[in-house]
Structure 1
């Protein structure tokens, strides 16, 4: 369990108001919507796949490894499936490190976003399981809100999707806690191809 002070700390780090720039990225969702692969009726399945088999699970494993003190910085960068995803994780990681140094007086290096987050968890001695669950819920919220900006998706349906994916976040967090780096892998071919197509969109809202 997170103590009240710890809960406030993690909630602040994952808040949309914390200036890491997550709103600028969609992890290829924009390209998926543009090609017709994602619509309001299939968005939940898309995000579910990302959480279980894609960037969600991978980033959760990297976060856990970094929180345990493992050096996974180069691995995290190498695992980025596209230039957009690499830019996303490095820029968000740099912004997170900068904010932690400036607002929390923490000596944090730059790096991939989940790695810096894991290092911050280790530095503050936070319990890992609830942090990973909240981290995955934050990713879920980011992708669903991106879907709202790309499609006619109402607020109530968006919140229902986030709520229904809550148990998935809990399940994936448990798997990540029990997994080592040698068990990292993804199998989200549609999302990966969309991420590769994202940079070639003539008109786009998101950077990845």
Structure 2
């Protein structure tokens, strides 16, 4: 007997799989090559254990990602879906202006360009939107928002994909730099996953007047990482 899939279910399935694709560490945008200052924190003995790495990443999730990038992605998804070119440009400029070191800015630019190239060879985003993104100096959150907006998934689901992709990359950075075993990495990922919904709630409650990017310890560590003698990661 043939199995039939209702159109609504088929659309949901396609949307979910697209978000899983975007969250995958295998997406060829280079996320695996960045530690977002975790490597510098290890080098300066601020992080030395599984519990220390877990606490560090939980703080980064709530104090950095939720208050900045997740909020940008949420607003940018809406802007892409409503053809709000001015809003998209404003959000992209905000990301560029609030990266507090050259490494962190290079990361968002490189990942943004790589995702733009991925979109050129993908069938979800419209050609006009891709050209609009290319006309900017695309940042990763805004490029991700375009890719996610094309899935037609709810904004919250888009943020879940973004946050989980970040968490997986950061856990792998912790495993390599602390170093830790795979079981320790899974425990850290479990802790991050449990906190991601609350971080998303925070991000969704922010607007242009309350969104912020103020993580002085990360900025200092990033500057130190630029001249660190031995490095595995690009940030």
- 3-state SS, counterpart of residue 52 of structure 1: helix
When residues 56 and 91 of structure 1 are mapped into structure 2, their CA distance, relative to the original with a 3 A threshold, is farther
When residues 139 and 57 of structure 1 are mapped into structure 2, their CA distance, relative to the original with a 3 A threshold, is farther
1:96 aligns with 2:118: no
1:58 aligns with 2:68: yes
- 3-state SS, counterpart of residue 104 of structure 1: coil
**How far did 1:198 drift?**
1.2
1:174 matched residue in structure 2: 201
Structure 1: distance between partners of 2:72 and 2:150: 16
Structure 2: distance between partners of 1:131 and 1:185: 20
1:136 aligns with 2:163: yes
* Runs (5+) with no aligned partner, structure 2: 1-8, 80-86
- Please, what TM-score do these two structures have when normalized by structure 1? 0.93
* Runs (5+) with no aligned partner, structure 1: none
- Please, what TM-score do these two structures have when normalized by structure 2? 0.83
Deviates more, 1:177-186 or 1:57-66: 177-186
Structure with larger Rg: 2
Answer whether contact 1:51 1:172 (CA < 8 A) is retained: yes
Structure 2: distance between partners of 1:27 and 1:152: 16
2:41 matched residue in structure 1: 32
Structure 2: distance between partners of 1:101 and 1:57: 30
**What is the number of residues matched between the two proteins?**
208
Deviates more, 1:85-94 or 1:55-64: 55-64
Structure 1: distance between partners of 2:30 and 2:119: 14
Structure 2: distance between partners of 1:14 and 1:207: 20
2:223 matched residue in structure 1: 196
Work out which of the residue numbers 73, 82, 103 in structure 2 matches 1:84: 103
